[in-house]
Structures are given as structure tokens and as C-alpha cells.
Amino acid sequence: MARNREEIKPPVDYATVAGALAKSVYEGDIVNFRLLFAPFSPARQLSTELFDMPKYQYLLPDDGVVSEPRYREALDKVNQPEMRAFIQGELEANRPPQLPADLLLMLADNAVRMGKYTSAAQAYESLRIRSRMQQMFLDHANSALDRGDVPAGVRGYIISNGLAYDYAAFPEPLPAIPDFQTRALLLHADYPETPEACIAMADTGPLVQAALEYLLSPDVAGALSERPESLRLEFLAELVRQQDPHWTSFLGRYEEASTLADQFGTRLRATAGSMSLADEIQRELGEDPGRIPATLLGHTIEGGEWWQYLKELAYEHPAAALFVARQAVGDLEIIVPRHRPGSPIARALGIGAGAGVAEAG
């Protein structure tokens, strides 16, 4: 059978293989990198698969990729005579392939640059340097914080934390918080019996601590606990913006939702949690109190419960979960915007910079 297949299949062009390998290295994509060495890979002469097949087009570099310096760098490496001989040998051998460590290291670094931490973690793990790389990123991050370079410090903490993920490698960047679906809900596990009883209304110190634990991890938050509060605050604001490039667009929706919530703000402060409040809110908002969470999220979830809105909101804008609260409205429960008046955290993040609505307390 193998002989027949070999006769039918045109010779695999190394330039095509090199391009596909260089693309996977450039994109930090360990899944595609492994696939190219797999027994069924179109890069193997003995496989029936062909690069010409439409299903493998995604493996090949397009015009946008070939002009990238990091792609060229990877391609040069793949085309080095020694590397080329090794790759061809592995693709011809009838046994599990050995992946070239040099390319894997380039791939891991590129994955870090693109925020594909599961891919980077797996590549570093194969090289047996994951924990040392994690520590190195953390050490450099701490040095950056020591000299007041908060953006570099935050970047280092995000990377070090990302390399701790044990999830299977995924070719795309993960959500900023991989298990947001449980962690955001844990912030709101108990219904706030008073407006002050929610995470958004916590004092600055505890809120910064909770935010760092939620956005990074308890370990990381612990490592930062010795730092001055002003630095922790600056760190948190930078962290939110680095994790969520679209934070500013969320702020617009937050203001809009706050305006809706402000329509019954006075009553909300006075009688939170009571049935009469629920009636009043319903009267204010007509038959659709779900407008508030839908405005926060930017779209409606059909029949969406408060926790569904919270999960999706945390996926889109992780830090948003820190500035909302649960609110009963008749039989329905929704999430509403809430933050502490004059809070330095809210100020640093641009929360409530507009009308100052949805401030409770």
C-alpha cells in the first residue's frame, strides 16, 4: 500500500514544508507544528494527504505572513542545511518523530509574544524549562516594578501567570481569565442584602486584593501584597487595560447602564432587596428590567439569567465583574452597575467618570 501511495503522490516540495513549519513557528502554534510531523501530515511523502487539499490551506503562509520579520527568521532557521536534513529525516522515518528543539524554542517565544500562553507553556514544558521561564518572567517583572516601570511589570506577571496554565494547547489566545466562568461567579456567590455588601463596594485595600486574586491568581496577589498601595493600584489599572484592550468601549456601556439604574437610584439605596423596591423598579423600567444587563453586555441573551450575563461580561471584559452587583427585580434577578463613590480604583479605571451614576452608599 505504501508503495502505491508513494507512486501516486507527487514529491512533497520542501519549500512548501518549510513555509508551513515557519508559519507555525511564527504564529506560536504548537498544534500545527506537531501536526506537520504527525504520521498523516501532508508534509510526509508516505501520507495520502496533500498540501494542495483545501483543508490544509490554513497551514500555508499567506502574503501578510511572508512579509513578517519573525516569519523570515523562522524560515531561515528551517532552511539551514542541518535543520533541513534533520526535518526531512524525521518526515521519512517510520517511527514517532523527534521535534527540533531549536524551532520549538522560537515557537514558544513567539507564542508568548502573541499571548498564546497554553501553546507557550506546552512548548516550554517539552523543553523542560517551563518553571524556570515562569520564574524568569516573574523576576524581570519584579525588577521592572522596582524601577517604576509598571507596564513591563504587569506584562511579566501576566505572562508568568499564563505559563502556569495546564490546559491543552489551543491555537488562539485564551480568554484573559481562563476559568472566568467560575471565578466571576464566585465574586457574586452571595446575594448582597444591602447595597454595601457586594464586591464593588469594598474598601480600596480589600478590593485591590480581591481584584488581583481574581484577575491573576491568589499566589500572584500574595507576591504583590508587600508593595505600596499606590503601586498596587497603578498595577491593577494597568492590568485591567492590558488584559482588556476594549475596556474603554465597555466604559461607554457602563455609563449608559448606570443612567438606566440611576432612574431608580434613590429608591434602590433606601430599600434594597425588598419587594416594594422590585415593584418600583419594574414600574420604572416597564416590563423589561433586563435592559440594564443587556446594556452592560452590549447585547441581549434570550431568557438570560443574571449569571449568564455575568459570565459573558467577564469573558468580554474581565474587570467588569468587579463593578456590578446582583439585584432582585420581582421574580427576576439582574446585574446592575455599582461602584463606590470617590473610589480611587473606579477613578483609575475611568468608572463613573461620566454622570457619577450607579454610585451607592
Task: Specify the residue, 118 or 295, whose C-beta has the smaller distance to other proteins.
Answer: 118
CB 322, min distance to other proteins, A: 20
Q: Can you give the length of the chain in residues?
A: 361
Q: Is 356 in the site for other proteins (CB under 8 A)?
A: no
CB 144, min distance to other proteins, A: 6
CB-based burial, 186-198: b 16+ in 10 Å, e otherwise: ebbeeebeebbeb
Answer yes or no: are the C-beta atoms of 308 and 338 closer than 8 Å.
Answer: no
Q: Is 102 in the site for other proteins (CB under 8 A)?
A: yes
Q: Is 304 in the site for other proteins (CB under 8 A)?
A: no
How many Cβ atoms sit within 10 Å of the Cβ of residue 41?
Answer: 21
CB 11, min distance to other proteins, A: 26
Q: Mark 141-170 with x for binding to other proteins (rule: CB under 8 A) and - for no binding.
A: x--x------xx--xx--x------x----
Task: Locate 242 and state its grid cell.
Answer: 492590558
Task: Locate 221 and state its grid cell.
Answer: 496577589
Residue 317, C-beta contacts closer than 8 angstroms, at least 6 positions apart: 244, 246, 247, 250
- Tell me how many residues contact other proteins (CB under 8 A): 30
Task: Specify the residue, 151 or 171, whose C-beta has the smaller distance to other proteins.
Answer: 151
Task: Locate 262 and state its grid cell.
Answer: 440611576
Chain positions 205 to 224 lying near other proteins, rule: CB under 8 A, are: 218
CB 323, min distance to other proteins, A: 25
Residue 240, C-beta contacts closer than 8 angstroms, at least 6 positions apart: 215, 247, 318, 319, 349
Q: Is 311 in the site for other proteins (CB under 8 A)?
A: no
Task: Locate 264 and state its grid cell.
Answer: 431608580
Query: What span, in angstroms and rounded, lies between the C-alpha atoms of 219 and 138?
Result: 12
CB 163, min distance to other proteins, A: 11
CB 99, min distance to other proteins, A: 5
Residues at the site binding other proteins, with contacts judged by CB under 8 A: 86, 95-96, 98-102, 104-105, 109, 112-113, 126-129, 133, 136-137, 140-141, 144, 151-152, 155-156, 159, 166, 218
